[in-house]
Structure 1
Amino acid sequence: MLSIVRALVVAVAAGALTAAAVPASAQTFPSRPVTFVVPFAPGGSTDTVARIVAQAAGGPLGVPTVVENRTGGAGVVGWSAVARAAPDGHTLLTLEMSFTIAAGLIPTLPFDPRKGFVQVTTAVENPHVMVVNPDLPAKTVAELIALLKANPGKYFFGSGGNGTNTHMGGELFKSLAGVDLVHVPYRGAGAVLQDLVAGQVQVLVTSLPTALPLIQSGKLRPLMVAAAKRSPVLPEVPTAAEAGLPGMVMNFWVGFAVPAGTPAPVVARLNTDILAGLAQPDTRKRLAELGMEPVGNTPAEAEALIESEIARWSAIAKAANIKMQ
């Protein structure tokens, strides 16, 4: 909450200082509905956050907000659409960690991932969680590592596809634990979860909201929250450090950006109004129920996160020899 309040104060102060120099287009913003583009199908964590935030920001913005799912190319279609959109603040891109993974893995993106967008804010974050099929004879991370080392190449971790957050999470675990765990890519989170429950694959590192319903129903066993602190929704599950892998900290985050060239006062207005929406008690309650924590940082802080995430996942992909076209 303190970060949201602090960022609100900064944004409001910046707006006051630049009011006299605001272009006419910025003075009239917003002049029509604001669209939040989600580069993935409806129903996933990214889509859920976008809909919660869009609804919450609609009041402060004073115009209707729309969520548009532009799917295809593992996110590339949606990212490209926003990169080409008019830089007037009426089209926002919903970003998450797959964007920063792709920035380091795909040399042929039809836009510059660093220069093609202006960051507005990182809206929420939540940890990843390592889950296994309950029939696996491992109830702790230490037991899992021992099992995998005794049976190299005989167990499988699933992912939602090459280069996804679930793929990178599995590779990070393999690297830190020094185990031989075979990667099985699927086309989306739903398919891998189905096979994990059925026992076709045994291990998955995924965002907490994605796995939470299956954990709560007993269909999956959580071994570790990939975070520095325990999750309020899974208080009995150890952190990465408590599980013996302090380097296995991996936050799933969702943020928003606009096309490059969007006027700074418009970016500041979007930041202020999204943060105002995040600060609403009902919004915070809905996010907490999903295991998500509001962040609401400044555009500069959101930009710094993007840069650090691109660097981190590029290094992990290079070490694991992961390549995408």
Structure 2
Amino acid sequence: MSSLKPVSLRRRPVLQALVAVACVAASTATWAEGWPSRPVKIVVPFAPGAGTDAMGRLVAAKLSDLFKASVVVENRTGASGAIGAQEVAKAAPDGHTLLLAAAPFTTVPAALPSAGYDPMASFAPVGMIAQGPLVWAVNKDVPANTLPELVALARKQPGALNYGSAGVGGINHLVLESLKVRTRTFITHIPYRGIAPATLDTISGQLQLLTGTIPALAPHIREGKLKALAVTSPERSPALPQVPGMREAGMPDFNVLNYFALVAPKGTPDAVVRQINAALAQVVQMPDVKERLAKDALEPATGTPAQLGQFLQKDFEGWQRVVQQQGLKIDAF
């Protein structure tokens, strides 16, 4: 049985080399002729105040400074991010409309073919911004202190463990299905409208297990309301250094990352794509941006447009395999 193995850009030596190359390109590149000729819009497919929105506004402000031009954020919510993605896919491919892509950009169409866009065929990859793992967490009374102990418990009591997610087809849902594929276990999935109510029900004991971003769950972990079993990357996260990675959990090739990237409509001129990509390489190396990313348990993860395309392709295909292997039937979000 194949497993989800997204391409990771988090390897530090490679990442540092890519950043150095991109920064040199940024310092020597000439602006694409005639671009931008009007404000550049970054579509954020989630509501104001969410983590994706905060990232979009941070990147927009920095790009505005670098381009000496207006870069604005527009929130287009709905269908787990699909509405915003559809809008950008249909926009003029002139570099003035971009999409801030996060994990649902690939999980949603993998789980729901009728999502209304193809993450590969409908978009031109521009550049990765940052990546970070999720964290597996359980109610404090669950008799498991490691992920292997949880798996053993699930095998002993099939279906007895309830897992909460932020909704069907999202990364919180599909990372569970990926674990179930790998461990041949049955854990009951219970979708919520957002991770916050799922977190509260896990703390209260109505649920036993969930995953979430480290910033969302770390306060409850520190207070002892939840137990952290592992992060979803092979190695430990600097933001939760006491929590094992998947390598220590016995699954070294299990690597699920939340990510933030910019993509543009298919057909956007290469010169514009390269210009934005080079600017992103500068943005993620700014001291205040690096500090902000670290606070959000993220690491800078830039690279070439082609490398982002490879990452998205692997991620999308990996989630498609999980959906097929689990026989998931999702009609709508």
Structure 1 length-normalised TM: 0.91
The change in CA–CA distance for 1:276 and 1:172 in structure 2 (over 3 A counts) is same
TM-aligned CA deviation for residue 12 of structure 1:
6.1
For the 8 Å contact 2:100–2:260, the answer to whether it is kept is yes
Corresponding residue of 2:215: 209
Residue 165 of structure 2 is aligned to residue 150 of structure 1? no
Q: CA deviation at 1:10?
A: 4.8
Q: Which amino acid aligns with 2:239?
A: V
Q: Deviations over 1:91-114 (max 9, x none)?
A: 110112212122323222333432
Q: Structure 2 CA distance, aligned partners of 1:12 and 1:108?
A: 42
Partner of 1:22: none
Which aligned pairs between 1:71-90 and structure 2 lie closer than 5 A?
A: 71-90=77-96
How many Å apart are 1:246 and its aligned residue? Answer: 2.4
**Which moves more between the two structures, 32-41 or 119-128?**
32-41
CA contact (8 A) 2:82 2:117 kept: no
Match of 2:11 in 1: none
- Quote the residue 1:49 is aligned against: 55
Report 1:240-255 matches (<5 A): 240-255=246-261
In structure 2, the CA distance between the partners of 1:220 and 1:6, relative to structure 1 (3 Å rule), is: farther
**Conservation of the 8 A alpha-carbon contact between 1:97 and 1:309:** no
Which portions of structure 1, spanning 4 or more consecutive aligned residues, are displaced by more than 6 angstroms? none
Of 254, 268, 277, 1:262 maps to 268
Q: 1:230 Cα deviation (Å)?
A: 1.1
Task: Report the Cα distance in structure 2 between the residues aligned to 1:219 and 1:66, rounded to whole angstroms.
Answer: 39
CA–CA separation in structure 2 for the residues paired with 1:31 and 1:211: 42
CA distance in 2, matches of 1:222, 1:113: 32
Q: CA deviation at 1:39?
A: 0.8
Distance 1:105 1:139 in 2: 31
User: Is residue 35–residue 67 contact of structure 1 (8 Å, CA) maintained in 2?
Assistant: yes
Q: CA deviation at 1:236?
A: 0.9
Alignment of 1:1-325 (within 5 A): 1-10=16-25, 15=29, 26-325=32-331
1:282–1:309: structure 2 CA closer, same or farther, 3 Å change rule? same
* Cα distance in 2 between the residues matched to 1:63 and 1:198: 49
* Range with greater deviation from structure 2 (100-109 or 224-233): 100-109
Contact 1:169 1:206 in 2 (8 A): no
Partners of 1:117 and 1:234 lie apart in 2 by 34
* CA shift in 2, pair 1:273/1:324, >3 Å: same
Further displaced range: 296-305 or 105-114: 105-114
Question: Distance in 1 between the 2:216 and 2:226 partners?
Answer: 12
Aligned to 1:23: none
CA contact (8 A) 1:44 1:210 kept: no
CA RMSD of aligned residues (A): 1.9
Structure 1's unaligned 5+ residue stretches are 20-25
Distance 1:155 1:109 in 2: 30
| Cα drift, residue 197 of structure 1 | 1.7
Could you tell me whether the CA contact under 8 Å between 2:89 and 2:123 is conserved in 1?
yes
Q: Distance in 2 between the 1:261 and 1:98 partners?
A: 22
Per the alignment, in what secondary structure is the counterpart of residue 149 of structure 2? helix
State the distance in 1 between where 2:34 and 2:157 align.
64
With 139-148 and 92-101 compared, the bigger mean Cα shift is at 139-148
**Alpha-carbon distance between aligned partners in 2 of 1:214 and 1:42, rounded to the nearest angstrom:** 24
What letter corresponds to residue 264 of structure 2 in structure 1? V
**Conserved 8 A contact 2:138-2:228:** yes
Aligned residues: 316
Is this contact kept in 1: 2:293–2:299, CA < 8 A? yes
- What letter matches 1:6 in structure 2? V
CA contact (8 A) 2:109 2:117 kept: no
* CA shift for structure 1 position 88: 1.8
**Amino acid of the residue matched to residue 60 of structure 2?**
A
Q: Identical aligned pairs, as a percentage? A: 37
Q: Measure how far apart 1:49 and its partner are.
A: 2.0
**Shift of the alpha carbon at 1:28?**
2.1
Alignment partners' CA distance in 2, 1:259 and 1:6:
25
Corresponding residue SS for 1:108:
helix
Matched residue type, 2:185: V
Instruction: Quote how far apart the aligned CAs of 1:268 are.
Output: 1.1
Deviation at 1:303, TM superposition (A): 0.7
Per the alignment, residue 5 of structure 2 pairs with none
Which residue identity does 1:187 align to in structure 2?
A: R
In 2, Cα distance between equivalents of 1:98 and 1:303: 16
What is the SS of the residue equivalent to 2:115? Answer: coil
**In 2, Cα distance between the equivalents of 1:225 and 1:113?**
26
Partners in 1 of 2:51 and 2:307 — Cα distance? 22
Conserved? CA contact 1:177–1:245, under 8 Å: no
